[in-house]
Structure formats: structure tokens, C-alpha cells
Amino acid sequence: MMRILALVLSVLTGSIAGMTYAADAPTVLITGANRGIGLEYARQFAAKGYQVIGTVRDPSDTKELSAVTQRVEQLDVTDAASVAALAGRLHGVPIDILVNNAGIVMPSTVDADNFAESWDMSLAVMAGAQAWAIRAALPSLRRSPHPRIVNIASTEALGATRYISAYTVAKHASMGLTRAMAVELGAEGITVNCVCPGPIRTAMTQRTPEEDKLVFAKRRTVLRRYGEPEEVAHATLSLVLPAAGFITGATLVVDGGLTIRNA
């Protein structure tokens, strides 16, 4: 029994033969990597020995990211020219894993003056940009022995909340893109999966008072708390291991039981 448990743990941590990473470590490209869950992805991948390339929209906001990554690249995920320029700069650089993480929230009611801006920007950042990033990374991914794509969506892809309809639609699109790309790229051995975080302590939620977080968590989640960014990062890591090669088109929900409690 102990030997079986040890083997399971070694698979989950990527430490079995052929899965420890050094000079020839896999390279992961993470969009929106300078804060929140994206920054935690960079930290956790780096801690596991991966080579990390993180993208940021604002190149002046990279202090924490630069401390844990091999390379930081400026990228406006909504700008096709910026994506093409990044693809050019990364030409010949091996990319084994793409984590499409960039995201925003622009609350708006459907009849508000800013609705059109919220709609266009949300779909551009969290739906269109994921497709453009996949296109840009695809030549490198096709050369990888274990190519992986993970699109970061949200539990909004499984339901809906008032006043953030553009965000909700974009996250549904991210899940749809995941399934479509899994089917399209599967014959090439490229796995494409989706992670749906629930209530997580990030920059997006830090303005919510702690007492409100506590009330929400106790009412809506099974575990009765907010999750931490590293918990989402560890879940994502489990999808990119060489041992995860038969998982594709899947949605991994990291929400403390919010979805099942409110089904």
C-alpha cells in the first residue's frame, strides 16, 4: 500500500522517472502573468523546475514576475499585431505548455453606457485572445514531446451572475474554445483543457471586504472559504504533466464546492 501511495504522489508531483526537470525542462508560456493567479502560476511552475515565459501588458509592472521567470515579454492580448510580434520574438524558442490566463472584469448592466466597451473588451481579452495565443504558440507546441494548452475560464462558464454578463459570455466562450481545440488538435497529440476557478483571493476580489467574503463562502461553498491562488496553480499543474496525456477537452473546477452546492 505504501509503495502505491508513493507512486501516486510521484505522479502528481511530476517526480517519477523522466518527469524531473532540469536544463531540458519544459517551457511554459503564461499570459497575464504579473499578478493574481497568473503570478502564482509563474511561481509554482518555476518552483517545479519549468522554464517560464510570462507576458504582461504593462512592462513597468514586472518586478515580482521577473524574480521567478526566465523571460518577461510585453503583450497586449487584444492586439493582433502585438501577438504577431511576440510570435516573432519567440521564433525558435521551444514552448511546451501554453497557459491562457489573461482576464479582466468590467461590470455593466446591459443598458449601461459602458456596456459596449465591457462586451468588446471582455470577449477580446478572454475569448479571442486565447485563440490568437494558441495560433501563435502552435508551431512550437507541435515540436514538443508533450504539448499542453490550458485555458483559464471561471465558474461563470458554468452559470451566471448579475451585472457581469460580458465576463460570463467570454468565459463560456473559453470553455467552448477548449472543447473545439481539443477536437481539432487531438490528432497531433496536443491536449487542451480548461480550469474554472471559483472564489479565489486575487486582485479581482481584494476590494470585497473580508466579512463579505466570509458570508459568501459560508453560504455558497462546501469548504466555507475562499481559495488561494496556489491552489488553482497546483490544479493547473496536474493537467500539464506528461502523465496527463490522456486528459483533453476536460474542465477542472477549482471552486471549493461552490458549483455542486448551488447546482
CATH of the domain at 89: 3.40.50.720
Whether residue 4 is predicted with pLDDT greater than 60 in this model: the reply is no
Range of the domain at 77: 23-201+229-256
Number of residues that this document lists for the chain? 263
Are 148 and 98 a contacting pair, CB within 8 Å? Answer: yes
Whether residue 87 is predicted with pLDDT greater than 80 in this model: the reply is yes
| Catalytic residue IDs | 167
Whether residue 59 is predicted with pLDDT greater than 60 in this model: the reply is yes
Whether residue 20 is predicted with pLDDT greater than 50 in this model: the reply is no
Whether residue 249 is predicted with pLDDT greater than 80 in this model: the reply is yes
Domain assignment present for residue 6? The answer is no
Domain assignment present for residue 176? The answer is yes
CA gap 161, 263 in Å, rounded: 14
Q: Which residues contact 172 (CB under 8 A, 6 or more apart)?
A: 153, 156, 157
Domain assignment present for residue 130? The answer is yes
For 96, how many CA atoms within 13 A lie in the half-sphere containing its CB?
Answer: 19
Task: Dump pLDDT digits (tens) for 151-207.
Answer: 999 999 999 999 999 999 999 999 999 999 999 999 999 999 999 999 999 877 878
Domain assignment present for residue 69? The answer is yes
pTM of the model: 0.89
Domain assignment present for residue 111? The answer is yes
Question: What is the count of structural domains for the chain?
Answer: 1
